[in-house]
């Protein structure tokens, strides 16, 4: 079960890493509080998603490596019946425990158990999957928000119906499906938490029926979520012109500090320039919010004689790529140092593609 989930997760990471690399230097509006903020890049945003997925992969690997075999411990974990069978020979009991553990494919067994291994092991396993569910929910929510802005869309089939009532729509149904199932996956972790909490003394049997549902259902849910997310990441569509239009609409406001600095370098007084920009910005903002107009701050700056000394610099001042900082370099280093190494053990599993039933 762990292996299947890990293989699927590796493919999602691989597809998203390719996407991040492709769009590492494509400027886009950043959002904080879902309000326009300083620019980032499409690839850098994808790396935020990747970072969480890589953490999930490491958690998954750690949980798998931590699994131990219960071993031959007997009805209450004391190995009393085996000690009697071997006529008090403790070494033979331990040797039997070691051999059975190896035969079942485990490297270690638990040294102490009750009638079962601790049910906290189940908590550990499902917490890792629930955490993965949170990651996928965040990624797919972001995709849904960006689809609303028409900046990025999940793949859309030629004959796909976006809405049964509104034929012009292209609803992000795959991302919505992932979010729906991710909530279920996150909720399932409450089962092993409650089961472990109510195990009396050496064991009670009220764990069994619950585990037979919650454990396989968690892995199966993780499986279909990752299969769907792989399909999304293999076909993400980016609309650079829409992104560019959104940047043009907001960038003049963000560039005001750069304009002020350019004026000061040209010999202007910072306080005077700040006041000029403040007044012009408020007028431009009022036109946008109250009249539904375009952002005309740049036109207002160009029309004001005060800014004549820097008119020739405005194009370079408003170049979006001067506002993305080290985002492209961060993408390159992150993919090289933290993403690609995680994928090395899964290189032979990368060629499988997904086709979903819509």
Which residues partner with 238 through β-bridges?
152
**In angstroms, what is the C-alpha Rg of the chain?**
29
Q: Which helix (H) or strand (E) holds 32?
A: strand 27-32
Dihedral angle computed from the Cα positions of residues 160, 350, 340 and 178, in that order, rounded to the nearest 10 degrees:
40
- Which residues belong to the active site? 33, 163
Tokens of 158: 């030629």
Q: Per residue in 307-318, is it b (16+ CB within 10 Å) or e — as a string?
A: beebeebbeebb
Tokens of 221: 């849910």
How far is it, in rounded angstroms, from Cα 156 to Cα 173? 9
Q: Checking phi first, is residue 256 left (phi over 0); if not, alpha (psi -120 to 50) or beta?
A: alpha
- Kindly state the DSSP code that residue 163 receives in the 8-state scheme: -
Contacts 24+ apart (CB under 8 A), 303-308: 304/276, 304/280, 306/268, 306/272, 306/273, 306/276, 307/259, 307/263, 307/276
Tokens of 2: 């762990």
Residue 332 in 3-state DSSP? Answer: helix
């Amino acid at each position: 079960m762990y292996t299947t989930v890990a293989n699927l997760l590796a493919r999602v990471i691989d597809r998203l890493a390719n996407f991040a690399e492709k769009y590492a230097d494509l400027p886009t509006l950043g959002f904080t509080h879902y309000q326009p903020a300083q620019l980032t890049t499409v690839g850098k945003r994808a790396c935020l998603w990747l970072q969480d997925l890589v953490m999930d992969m490491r958690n998954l690997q750690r949980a798998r490596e931590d699994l131990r075999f219960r071993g031959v411990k007997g009805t209450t974990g004391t190995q009393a019946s085996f000690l009697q069978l071997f006529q008090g020979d403790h070494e033979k009991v331990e040797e039997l425990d070691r051999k059975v553990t190896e035969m079942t494919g485990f490297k270690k067994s638990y040294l102490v158990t009750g009638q079962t291994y601790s049910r906290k092991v189940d908590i550990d396993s499902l917490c890792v999957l629930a955490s993965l569910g949170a990651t996928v929910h965040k990624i797919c929510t972001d995709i849904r928000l960006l689809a609303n802005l028409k900046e990025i869309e999940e793949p859309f089939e030629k004959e796909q119906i976006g809405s049964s009532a509104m034929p012009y729509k292209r609803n992000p149904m795959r991302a919505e499906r992932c979010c729906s199932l991710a909530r279920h996956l996150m909720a399932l972790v409450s089962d092993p938490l409650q089961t472990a909490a109510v195990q009396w003394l050496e064991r009670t049997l009220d764990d069994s029926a619950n585990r037979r549902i919650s454990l396989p259902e968690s892995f199966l849910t993780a499986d279909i979520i990752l299969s769907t997310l792989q399909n999304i990441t293999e076909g993400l569509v980016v609309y650079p012109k829409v992104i560019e239009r959104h940047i043009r609409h907001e960038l003049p406001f963000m560039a005001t500090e750069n304009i002020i600095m350019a004026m000061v370098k040209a010999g202007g007084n910072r306080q005077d320039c700040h006041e000029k920009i403040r007044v012009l910005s408020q007028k431009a903002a009022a036109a946008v919010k109250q009249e539904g107009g375009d952002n005309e701050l740049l036109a207002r700056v160009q029309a004001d004689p005060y800014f004549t000394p820097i008119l020739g610099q405005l194009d370079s001042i408003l170049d979006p790529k001067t506002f993305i900082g080290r985002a492209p370099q961060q993408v390159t280093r992150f993919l090289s140092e933290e993403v690609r190494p995680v994928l090395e053990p899964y290189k032979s599993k990368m060629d499988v593609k997904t086709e979903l039933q819509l």
